[in-house]
DNA sequence: CCCCGATATGACAGCGCTGTCTTATTTTAA
DNA sequence: TTAAAATAAGACAGCGCTGTCATATCGGGG
């Protein structure tokens, strides 16, 4: 079996076959108006016969659209990014865009950023945490005039699309939930300080305690980096303390899973002896036992909304002044990792 | 603070500034020979001053390289794909390529495939399981003449780069490991039949039992789909049987985690009452407790090798006859989920 | 001293499209 | 009925590069 290399038909081939000018073919493929139905039919038929699809690069060069959307991430693994990727990919597919993923490590990998922005003309760029709060990146994007959407940003940027949840309120509510279950010694494992949401979640925790007259003890607040390992380390620290907390609120689920693992190793029963809650409703939350009570963040809807506001028909004012903004609803997902101390 | 939209300098701008022809600038940016050192310096300097980077689309249109590599996946989430993505992204970054991710759901999403292949000229395409074994995809790629690499393929395709592990041997060895620990009633949870590796792993399990004189019982082989949920379901089936197996070999870690969850719910101690092993050394393997004994598959090295063989300098015979092939070493990762019955 | 290959550079066309402008043919409003 | 507006289609240039071919210079070997 030998495969004949099919060389792609060009627009002018289609034009010839359909007996029209190239420009008319172009009009059809760009859904412009002012093309009669019969020519349109003829062109579509000819295109199908030749298996024609317009070349991305040529379109990008000649026109004002590249049909390329960028997704800039810090680290391409993890459940959060996977969700963003999946959702963005679906949206791109449906809207006829292609997704170019670029990794921008470390705050302000400016060299790579400039290189990428100069060499590809993106129709839009989606920024995921934590680089959605990297000023170097934001300014470079502004300077190059690319419409940008940020998912889960910390600070506001009115000229960019922004999609988020209220991390502060969510953490407040989760803490309150724990308090409502009779917990008073509630520890908190902080998130990666590079992520803007970390501060918000911490604030929510602190304020909730204060709001319920529970003293905030800095011994109960330990640093974390959003990783399983850092969750483990934080648990060790917490368990080394004089009095063990009755509940631990980890700023994300991966860390909560780390706590769970340490608890298990030490024979600490969860939830009877120790309650654990996380944040994000990451895939791990339902994979560990007991399943983690956590805050569900609708990442996929958020990414879809971001894309829609960025690239959607209304085309918004992304290009000029104000860009769209949306705050999505979070949801406390009660599972099996919290004990009711007042039972 | 207002941001001036920086319009990108073009090659002709650079040429003017450096006092040479565009072609010479082009030569410098393509590392062609026959450019004197002083002109090269002048050009590089001018380019830096103008912050010039050649346009991807123009290069793609005019030249024979697009600097775009495609990663075609079935489903963009999961630890396996994350690893492939991360590794490929790194390789692309280092080699100056950009990665376009495309989702090809369901066997032979031919419409989308053709659309994508016609509209973007890829310099290379990487296929992850299970679509690396989709004949429609393979043939379309052949027809369009794009050099292709397949990660973890089932059937051989001599004209494409191929990187894999020996799933059969690995499963054989893992089964043998269990047998060595004194297990005789070893159940097997099969993988998604769409994935070629599923058959191999199953074969390895069956042959190992046979090789050690242990009768193969089809009651102990239950279907699975590589998902946590299907692992749970398989566990329920297995636990409903008359005699519980002493060990369960799940064809991947996610399913093994599902088994673990069901065991925990039913109060079955792991590993003392039931041993569980998985495959892949997925992130979940170390997140659950007890951590899973599993087969580590060096996915990232494999993806890196695939990229190197595809796009590397030797440029290989990917374009003509034989393409590179590599079988990587797997490794049994012993953790805490297996009991020694002969202790 | 001349010819040859290696080295160095540029002119020019054109990749496959889209933007702009022009021309022609309706339709609508007044 | 007639000007103005909407509709329909094409000619043409050019996006920012690279391939090809032509040209020019240089250092040897014969």
- Each residue's pLDDT tens digit, A262-291: 999 999 999 999 999 999 999 999 999 899
pLDDT of residue B2 exceeding 80: no
Q: What is the pLDDT of residue B4?
A: 63
Between CA B320 and C1' D14 the distance (Å) reads 36
Q: Are A233 and A259 in contact (CB under 8 A)?
A: no
Q: Which nucleotide lies nearest residue B23, CA to C1'?
A: C10
β-pairing verdict for B124-127 and B68-73: parallel
DSSP state of B150: E
A-chain residues within 8 Å CB-CB of B98?
100, 102, 116, 119-120
Alpha-carbon gap, residue B208 to B318, rounded angstroms? 36
Residues 34-93 of A, Cβ under 7 A from nucleic strand C: 52, 54-55, 58-59, 61-65
pLDDT, tens digit only, all 343 positions of chain A: 455 666 788 999 999 999 999 999 999 999 998 999 999 999 999 999 998 999 999 999 999 899 999 999 998 888 999 999 999 999 999 999 999 999 998 766 788 898 899 899 999 999 999 999 999 999 999 988 899 999 999 889 999 999 999 999 999 999 999 999 999 999 999 999 999 999 999 999 999 999 999 999 999 999 999 999 999 999 999 999 889 999 999 999 999 999 999 999 999 999 999 999 999 999 999 999 899 999 999 999 999 999 999 998 765 544 456 778 999 999 999 999 999 998 6
Q: At what angle do helices A253-265 and A228-240 cross, to 10 degrees?
A: 50
* Structural domains in chain B, sorted by start: 1-51 (1.10.260.40), 68-165+299-329 (3.40.50.2300), 167-297 (3.40.50.2300)
Q: Looking up tokens 């654990």, which residue turns up?
A: A276
pLDDT, tens digit, for every residue of B161-202?
999 999 999 999 999 999 999 999 999 999 999 999 999 999
Alpha-carbon gap, residue B108 to B91, rounded angstroms? 28
Alpha-carbon gap, residue B178 to B172, rounded angstroms? 10
Closest CA in chain B for residue A264: B289
Task: Test A52 with B260 for CB contact under 8 angstroms.
Answer: no
pLDDT of residue B246 exceeding 80: yes
> Shortest CB distance from A287 goes to which of B6, B284, B291?
B284
Q: Does B76 touch chain A (CB under 8 A)?
A: yes
> Shortest CB distance from A55 goes to which of B81, B86, B119?
B119
**Residue B98 phi, psi (nearest 5):** -115, 145
- Residue A10 CA: distances (Å) to CA of A7, A47, A139, B192: 9, 9, 39, 41
Contact map slice: A 224-243 vs B, CB within 8 A? 228
Q: How many CB atoms lie within 10 A of CB B62?
A: 12
Structure tokens at A169: 């309120």
Helix (H, G, I), strand (E, B) or coil at A306: helix
Task: Test B76 with A93 for CB contact under 8 angstroms.
Answer: no
Q: What is the pLDDT of residue B131?
A: 92
Alpha-carbon gap, residue B233 to B158, rounded angstroms? 38
Q: How confident is the model at residue B3 (pLDDT cuts 50, 70, 90)?
A: low
Task: Test A145 with B5 for CB contact under 8 angstroms.
Answer: yes
A101, containing H or E segment? strand A98-103
B180: Cβ contacts below 8 Å, ≥ 6 apart: none
Alpha-carbon gap, residue B189 to B193, rounded angstroms? 12
Cβ-based contacts under 8 A for chains A and B = 164
Task: Test B139 with A3 for CB contact under 8 angstroms.
Answer: yes
B67 CB-to-strand D distance under 7 Å: no
B161, containing H or E segment? strand B161-165
B-chain residues within 8 Å CB-CB of A261?
287, 289, 291
> Shortest CB distance from A5 goes to which of B58, B145, B289?
B145
Task: Test A257 with B287 for CB contact under 8 angstroms.
Answer: yes
Task: Test B56 with A57 for CB contact under 8 angstroms.
Answer: yes
Q: Does B126 touch chain A (CB under 8 A)?
A: no
Q: How confident is the model at residue B323 (pLDDT cuts 50, 70, 90)?
A: confident
Q: Are A51 and B114 in contact (CB under 8 A)?
A: yes
B-chain residues within 8 Å CB-CB of A56?
57, 60, 119-120
> Shortest CB distance from B142 goes to which of A3, A118, A288?
A3
In DSSP notation, B174-207 reads: HHHHHHHTT--SEEEE---TTSHHHHHHHHHHHH
A20 CB-to-strand D distance under 7 Å: yes
As ranges, strand D nucleotides with an atom below 7 A of a protein CB are 7-20
């Amino acid at each position: 079996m030998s495969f004949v290399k099919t060389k792609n038909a060009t627009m002018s081939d289609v034009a010839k076959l359909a007996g029209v000018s190239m420009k008319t073919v172009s009009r059809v493929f760009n859904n412009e108006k002012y093309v009669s139905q019969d020519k349109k039919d003829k062109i579509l038929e000819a295109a199908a016969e030749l298996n024609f699809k317009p070349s991305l690069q040529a379109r990008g060069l000649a026109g004002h659209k590249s049909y390329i959307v960028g997704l800039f991430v810090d680290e391409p693994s993890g459940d959060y990014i996977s969700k963003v990727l999946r959702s963005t990919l679906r949206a791109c597919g449906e809207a006829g865009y292609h997704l170019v993923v670029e990794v921008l490590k470390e705050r302000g990998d400016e060299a790579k950023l400039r290189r990428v922005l100069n060499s590809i003309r993106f129709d839009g760029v989606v920024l995921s945490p934590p680089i959605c709060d990297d000023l170097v990146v934001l300014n470079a994007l502004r300077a190059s005039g690319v419409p940008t959407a940020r998912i889960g940003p910390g600070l506001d940027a009115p000229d960019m699309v922004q999609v988020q949840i209220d991390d502060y309120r969510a953490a407040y509510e989760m803490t309150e939930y724990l308090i409502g279950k009779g917990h008073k010694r509630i520890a908190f494992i902080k998130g990666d300080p590079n992520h803007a949401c970390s501060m918000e979640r911490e604030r929510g925790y602190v304020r909730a305690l204060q709001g319920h007259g529970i003293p905030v003890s800095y011994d109960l607040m330990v640093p974390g980096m959003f990783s399983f390992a850092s969750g483990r380390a934080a648990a060790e620290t917490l368990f080394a303390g004089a009095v063990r907390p009755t509940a631990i609120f980890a700023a994300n689920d991966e860390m909560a899973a780390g706590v769970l693992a340490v608890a298990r190793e030490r024979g600490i029963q969860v939830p009877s002896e120790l309650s654990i809650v996380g944040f994000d409703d990451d895939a791990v939350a339902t994979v560990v036992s007991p399943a983690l009570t956590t805050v569900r963040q609708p990442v996929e809807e958020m990414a879809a909304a971001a894309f829609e506001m960025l690239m959607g028909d209304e085309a918004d004012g992304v290009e000029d002044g104000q860009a769209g903004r949306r705050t999505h609803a979070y949801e406390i997902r009660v599972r099996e990792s919290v004990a009711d101390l007042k039972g």
